Amino acid sequence: MIPELGQFALILALCLAVTQAILPLVGAARGQERLMRSGTFLATGQFVFLAIAYAALTYAFVTSDFSVRYVTQNSSLALPIQYKVTAVWGGHEGSLLLWVMILAAWGVAVAAFSKALPREMLARVLAVMGMVSVGFLAFTVFTSNPFVRLIPMPGDGTDLNPLLQDPGMIAHPPLLYMGYVGFAVVFAFAIAALLGGRLDAAWARWSRPWTTVAWVFLTLGIGMGSWWAYYELGWGGWWFWDPVENASFMPWLTGTALIHSLAVTEKRGGFKTWTLMLAILTFALTILGAFLVRSGVITSVHAFATDPERGVFILGMLAVTLLASFILYAIRAPKVGLGGGFGWYSRESLLLANNALLAVACAAVMIGTLYPLVLDAFSMSKISVGPPYFDAVFMPLMLPLLFLIGIGPMVAWKQSDPVQTYRQLRYVLLVSVLLGGVWPLTMGAWSPMTALGLMLGAWIILTAVLDLRNRMVRRRARGVGAMVRGVLQPSYLGMHVAHVGLALVVIAIAMVNTYEVERDTRMAPGETVSVGGYDFTMLAVGPVQGPNYDAQRANILVTRNGREVALLTPEKRNYFSQPGMPMIQASLQRSPLRDLYVSLGEPLDQHAWIVRLYYKPYMFWMWTGGILMALGGLLAAADRRYRLKPREADVTQKRAAAGRPAAGEVS
């Protein structure tokens, strides 16, 4: 009964979404206030019904209702309760339900936080979001209904994929979907602006916080996925350039470009058509990601069990989205002005370079991801494109970008002087080069690529510090309060925090790629092995019993110079649902400068086991960097000017534009 209620709610939500896609748009076209306002109610109603559907599915999981096929496929009686709740998004159908529910939640948020928007604009935005909802809801209802019953009802389910039975997996998909779906909001703003023909600074200002928040969630989602892969897959990898990872990375790259191009659009009225194009492309890339993961067109570790019919549906959705937006764009974009002029060396020109590099980087990832498909489609040959390719192609594109991050915030809008920048930054440059040269020596053999990475990381951090200092110095005359306020201005601080976060990630990658120590050993209880200056002693290996698995657990004592550092307990688990396919549960000890990482392999003769030991330097910086990037985005989105009524904000902006040219903010 409850599952049928859920299904009913799902269908009602679809009906409301159809209405939401039409009524507000008609209202905006005819200037009918009541129709325009209906968008808010419809969005709320849609969310309520989807929440009911979602609750119904959760209820089926919690009560182990195996008459629901999706529950049978993704749960079991022995599955711990917290994973029963998260197993709702452990498979294709349920994760899609989560997706549409989050989409509806964003719709409610837009309706709630956009009181300052002109009514026509809000109506159009909600209508476009309704259209997106219709696409995904129809997809759910017609091809991927999670409430389908199973007859006869089995006595137990086949269990959730053991890889997903992990806390990291609880947070990863919702964060990622928050990001994906957040870009649907940005898309809706772009399309609404095109429909209304209103493409001014106000439009950019409304879009910016939504874009930034979506980007924050996508950043966190990708970071969480990487963090999860790092300890859960058991062999210490954190990025595989797998097609599914690339599918989330491509919209992240264009989304990052969009954040920067929106800055130009808001501050200087420039790059409007390009900004629109990026908003459309980023959303299209999130659909492409769904296609790649859910259609089976590409072989990946993360892909859902697939079905060609679903692939056709998503592809249709992608085609409609792209072609319709593109036609609209082709009609409206030529009427959009170009904004102000600027010199070859200016904030605008550097942001343009940033966008060009990010767009090319995204294209490179796309080429690598889809190229095997191209060859296959023409029956030429089957090839694989993996990490060696992406490392070789992606890194050279990133280096100039990282260098520009240091300069960009220092350069004035419109026109600046490279000689002046050089004078400002020459000492920072010198210190960065020295630091990059010396830092690797603390780790071992010197390597040029590591030195380059560390130099760029140091460069970004030091230029950010210098810029903060300069800003304070400029405001010294106006008192301590003005100094502090200037530095703490959220959008400005957010920019630097995010950049420093990226720098930390770069440093971590440079360090761990070069100085990671990996040691395969055979260990029996009582034996000691040294890696990276740490002594690993195996104390014992014994059986442990989990709720839906049994395991062998090793106790490995780590000491350094005789002092205890950690007791690590890697496991090798046999889930009852997957006999003969043991899962590795690695054990880590994290600290700011290095992680110690132990995986338990196969048992050998007698009491000995295969053990893989890792010393992974600076991994902590990677996760810290990811969090800082997200934090920077949150700060930027929290800036006061986004919460002002349009007229006030215009005044504030004019005042800012009239102020010192070098102190503008781009976050």
Partner 1 sequence: MRSSRWNAPPVAAALAVALVLGLWSVTGPDGAAQAGRIPVGMPLEFETEEQEQQYRRLIRELRCTVCQNQALDESNAGLAADLRGQIYDMTLEGNSREEIVEFMVARYGDFVLYRPPFRADTFMLWIGPFLLLIAGGLVWAQVVRQRQAMARSRELSPEERAALERLERDE
Partner 2 sequence: MLRYGLPLVVIVAVLGLLFVGLGIDTRTLPSPLVGRDAPAFEMEELRDPGRTLTEADLKGGVSLFNVFASWCYSCRAEHPYLLEMAKQGVTIYGLNYKDTRRDAERYLRSGGGDPYEWIGFDPEGRVGIEWGVYGTPETFVVDRHGVSRFKHVGPLHPRLIEEKILPLVAELEAES
Task: List residues near partner 2 by CB under 8 A.
Answer: 277, 288, 291, 295-299, 308, 311-312, 315, 318-319, 322-323, 326, 329-330, 370, 373-374, 376-377, 381-382
The nearest distance, CB 577 to partner 2, in angstroms, is 17
The nearest distance, CB 318 to partner 2, in angstroms, is 7
| Closer CB to partner 2, 377 or 581, in the complex | 377
Tell which residue, 457, 333, 326, has the closest CA to residue 399: 457
Long-range contacts of 599-602 (CB under 8 A, 24+ apart): 599/234, 599/235, 599/236, 599/570, 600/541, 600/552, 600/553, 600/554, 600/570, 600/571, 600/572, 601/572
| Closer CB to partner 1, 26 or 353, in the complex | 353
| Closer CB to partner 1, 301 or 539, in the complex | 301
The nearest distance, CB 522 to partner 1, in angstroms, is 5
> Which amino acid belongs to residue 325?
S
Give me the residues that bind partner 1 (CB under 8 A), please: 73, 150, 158, 233-235, 237, 240, 242-243, 270, 299-301, 303, 305, 334, 337-338, 340-344, 348-349, 352-353, 356-357, 359-360, 363-364, 367-368, 371, 375, 380-389, 392-393, 397, 414-415, 520-522, 580-582, 599, 601-602, 610-612
| Closer CB to partner 1, 185 or 350, in the complex | 350
| Closer CB to partner 1, 447 or 470, in the complex | 447
- 74: Cβ–Cβ under 8 A, 6 or more apart, which residues? 61, 87, 90, 91, 94, 157, 158, 159, 160, 161
540's contact among partner 1, partner 2, none, with CB below 5 to 8 A by partner kind, is: none
The nearest distance, CB 666 to partner 1, in angstroms, is 17
**Residues 408 and 463 sit within 8 Å (Cβ to Cβ):** no
| Closer CB to partner 2, 215 or 329, in the complex | 329
Residue 214, phi then psi, degrees to nearest 5: -60, -45
> Which amino acid belongs to residue 380?
M
Residue appearing with tokens 């925090």: 497
DSSP 131-174: HHHHHHHHHHHHH--TT-B-SSPPSS-----GGG-SHHHHHHHH
The nearest distance, CB 319 to partner 2, in angstroms, is 5
The nearest distance, CB 585 to partner 1, in angstroms, is 14
377's contact among partner 2, partner 1, none, with CB below 5 to 8 A by partner kind, is: partner 2
SS3 assignment, position 236: coil
The nearest distance, CB 197 to partner 1, in angstroms, is 17
Tell which residue, 223, 191, 245, 266, has the closest CA to residue 649: 266
> Which amino acid belongs to residue 531?
V
418's contact among partner 2, partner 1, none, with CB below 5 to 8 A by partner kind, is: none
438's contact among partner 2, partner 1, none, with CB below 5 to 8 A by partner kind, is: none
The nearest distance, CB 327 to partner 1, in angstroms, is 19
DSSP 504-528: HHHHHHHHHHHH-EEEEEEE-TT-E
464's contact among partner 1, partner 2, none, with CB below 5 to 8 A by partner kind, is: none
Q: Measured between alpha carbons, how far is 47 from 54 in angstroms, rounded to an integer?
A: 10
The nearest distance, CB 236 to partner 1, in angstroms, is 9
**Residues 553 and 571 sit within 8 Å (Cβ to Cβ):** yes
Token pair of 442 as six digits: 């603390």
The nearest distance, CB 361 to partner 1, in angstroms, is 8
The nearest distance, CB 320 to partner 2, in angstroms, is 10
348's contact among partner 1, partner 2, none, with CB below 5 to 8 A by partner kind, is: partner 1
- 383: Cβ–Cβ under 8 A, 6 or more apart, which residues? 371, 372, 375
| Closer CB to partner 2, 258 or 631, in the complex | 258
Identify the bridge partners of residue 550 per DSSP, sorted by sequence position: 545, 574
Q: Measured between alpha carbons, how far is 222 from 435 in angstroms, rounded to an integer?
A: 30
| Closer CB to partner 2, 310 or 499, in the complex | 310
Token pair of 462 as six digits: 């030091």
318's contact among partner 2, partner 1, none, with CB below 5 to 8 A by partner kind, is: partner 2
| Closer CB to partner 1, 31 or 343, in the complex | 343
- 502: Cβ–Cβ under 8 A, 6 or more apart, which residues? 402, 405, 460, 625, 629
The nearest distance, CB 322 to partner 2, in angstroms, is 5
The nearest distance, CB 509 to partner 1, in angstroms, is 16
323's contact among partner 1, partner 2, none, with CB below 5 to 8 A by partner kind, is: partner 2
Token pair of 347 as six digits: 């904030």
| Closer CB to partner 2, 323 or 544, in the complex | 323
| Closer CB to partner 1, 206 or 549, in the complex | 549
330's contact among partner 1, partner 2, none, with CB below 5 to 8 A by partner kind, is: partner 2
**Residues 431 and 462 sit within 8 Å (Cβ to Cβ):** yes
The nearest distance, CB 112 to partner 2, in angstroms, is 34
283's contact among partner 1, partner 2, none, with CB below 5 to 8 A by partner kind, is: none
522's contact among partner 1, partner 2, none, with CB below 5 to 8 A by partner kind, is: partner 1
Residue appearing with tokens 């919460």: 643
Judging by beta carbons within 10 Å of its beta carbon (0-12, 13-18, 19+), is residue 330 exposed, middle or buried?
exposed
**Residues 498 and 628 sit within 8 Å (Cβ to Cβ):** yes
619's contact among partner 2, partner 1, none, with CB below 5 to 8 A by partner kind, is: none
The nearest distance, CB 377 to partner 2, in angstroms, is 4
Residue 566's H or E segment, with its range, is strand 563-568
The HSE-up count of residue 502 (CA atoms within 13 Å, CB side) is 23
Tallying the residues shown for the chain, one arrives at 667
326's contact among partner 2, partner 1, none, with CB below 5 to 8 A by partner kind, is: partner 2
What are the angstrom distances between the C-alpha of 105 and each of 38, 162, 527? 16, 30, 55
| Closer CB to partner 1, 51 or 333, in the complex | 333
658's contact among partner 2, partner 1, none, with CB below 5 to 8 A by partner kind, is: none
| Closer CB to partner 1, 165 or 300, in the complex | 300
| Closer CB to partner 1, 520 or 648, in the complex | 520
380's contact among partner 1, partner 2, none, with CB below 5 to 8 A by partner kind, is: partner 1
Tell which residue, 637, 575, 628, 584, has the closest CA to residue 210: 637
What are the angstrom distances between the C-alpha of 552 and each of 543, 582, 599? 4, 10, 12
| Closer CB to partner 1, 305 or 419, in the complex | 305
